[in-house]
Amino acid sequence: MIPVTKPYLPSLEEYNLYLQSIWKRQWLTNNGPLVNELEIKVNEYLNTKYFLYLGNGTIALQIALKALKVSGEIITTPFSYVATTSAIVWENCKPVFVDIHPDTFNIDPDKIEKAITSNTTAILATHVYGIPCDLEKIEQIAQKHNLKVIYDAAHCFGVRVNKKSIFEFGDISTVSFHATKLFHTIEGGGVFTKDNALFREMTLNRNFGHDGPEVFSGLGINGKNSEFHAAMGLVNLRKIDEIIAKRKSLTEHYNYRLKDLNLQRPKIKYGIDYNYGYYPILFDSHDMMKKCLEKLNRSQVFPRRYFYPSLDTLPYVKKANVPICDDISQRVLCLPLYYELSFEEVDLICRIMHTAFN
């Protein structure tokens, strides 16, 4: 069986060294030394200012929304994982969906201003598949209308724009370290910001509002993560450059083997250091996508329809007029891509796809 992804796992010997230190200290959670070490090393690797390690990428979105004190309407994308929308609704805000750009599959900045009302307080945009949004245009719109900007950068570990980490943009950027991501801590996530006051606010939010053992400085939640998860992150961080390099080689092999098929891929602008987190392809029709998917499944190959359905079809939101998203979500498929995937397995996947097209 070839799944859409597999988590990279380090050697048991490497991981056990950290486990032994946890057993020795008996400090399992509550901002332990390995959590602190991971936060420091992530900042060093990415050259970011403030990073806070959290339980998962969804709580990261919720804490970001809470820390920025947004309310009312939040402009967002219909083409993302469900957590992007559910976090907005969970925080008692209203998602306002803006259609996506056909080239990048990201929110179309040229359509954002038409959606802004007197109740709009923020923009929550996803860098789909780790491909950066139009950062400059979104920043200009936000400044013009005094809006906060949160980037759902769940897919973006290691992505850089003109040599600057993607997490340095917006008021807050969030990330996921779920096992499906190219850099993972089994479960996990985090928030990035350049603002010291926001960082302190989110630090309090992460731990029930504790500002000392008997002082509560505001509303908080349990957004912490454990020493065991941080240990996995510390080991995997050592291999991240090798992981990205292997995924790049696999992507280039896919590109070569599929070059003769009628497929499109989202465009990546010049100046982007990409992380090769996904291999999305866009078919010319829903029928051809389904035909390929079924043939692959019969051969025990399991790609995923990232992202389907369009988020404006969720039962707890209002349906929107987003024809481009409706169309692309019907035709897109992400092929298997992970560190242990072999070039021979890529060849097999591509041969099956060629038979579907022929």
Q: How confident is the model at residue 239 (pLDDT cuts 50, 70, 90)?
A: very high
Q: What percent of the chain has pLDDT over 90?
A: 96
CATH of the domain at 329: 3.90.1150.10
- If asked whether residues 94 and 18 sit together in one domain, one would say yes
Residue 340 has pLDDT above 80, yes or no: yes
Please give the pLDDT value at position 261: 97
3-state secondary structure of 232: helix
- If asked whether residues 194 and 252 sit together in one domain, one would say no
User: Token match 């959290």: residue?
Assistant: 54
3-state secondary structure of 323: helix
- If asked whether residues 61 and 198 sit together in one domain, one would say yes
Please give the pLDDT value at position 184: 98
- Alpha-carbon distance 70 to 299, whole Å? 48
Please give the pLDDT value at position 326: 98
3-state secondary structure of 325: helix
Please give the pLDDT value at position 58: 98
Q: How confident is the model at residue 128 (pLDDT cuts 50, 70, 90)?
A: very high
- Alpha-carbon distance 199 to 248, whole Å? 33
- If asked whether residues 57 and 79 sit together in one domain, one would say yes
* Residue that is last in its domain, among 206, 237, 268: 237
- If asked whether residues 180 and 245 sit together in one domain, one would say no
- If asked whether residues 41 and 185 sit together in one domain, one would say yes
- If asked whether residues 78 and 133 sit together in one domain, one would say yes
Q: How confident is the model at residue 216 (pLDDT cuts 50, 70, 90)?
A: confident
- Span 196-213, average pLDDT: 92
- If asked whether residues 149 and 215 sit together in one domain, one would say yes
Which range marks the domain in which residue 281 is found?
240-357
pLDDT digits 0-9 by tens, 9-59:
999 999 999 999 999 999 999 999 999 999 999 999 999 999 999 999 999
- Span 285-313, average pLDDT: 97
- Alpha-carbon distance 335 to 322, whole Å? 25
Residue 86 CB coordination number (10 Å): 18
CB contact burial 126-158 (16+ within 10 A = b; e otherwise):
bbbbbbbbbbeebeebbeeeebbbbbbbbbbbb
- Alpha-carbon distance 165 to 130, whole Å? 12
- If asked whether residues 151 and 133 sit together in one domain, one would say yes
- Span 158-168, average pLDDT: 97
- If asked whether residues 116 and 221 sit together in one domain, one would say yes
- If asked whether residues 174 and 75 sit together in one domain, one would say yes
Helix orientation angle between 33-46 and 227-237, rounded to the nearest 10 degrees: 30
- If asked whether residues 229 and 246 sit together in one domain, one would say no
Please give the pLDDT value at position 112: 98
User: Token match 């389907």: residue?
Assistant: 308
Give the angle subtended at the CA of 132 by the CAs of 127 and 133, to the nearest 5°: 75
Please give the pLDDT value at position 218: 83
- Write the burial class of residue 67 (CB in 10 Å: 0-12 exposed, 13-18 middle, 19+ buried): buried
- Span 305-329, average pLDDT: 97
The pTM of the whole model exceeds 0.85: yes
- Alpha-carbon distance 284 to 257, whole Å? 18
Please give the pLDDT value at position 212: 76
* Residue that is last in its domain, among 237, 264, 295: 237
Please give the pLDDT value at position 219: 87
Please give the pLDDT value at position 217: 82
Domain total of the chain? 2
Q: Calculate the alpha carbon distances from 150 to 4, 35, 42, 88 in Å.
A: 28, 24, 20, 11
* Residue that is last in its domain, among 217, 237, 257: 237
CATH of the domain at 84: 3.40.640.10
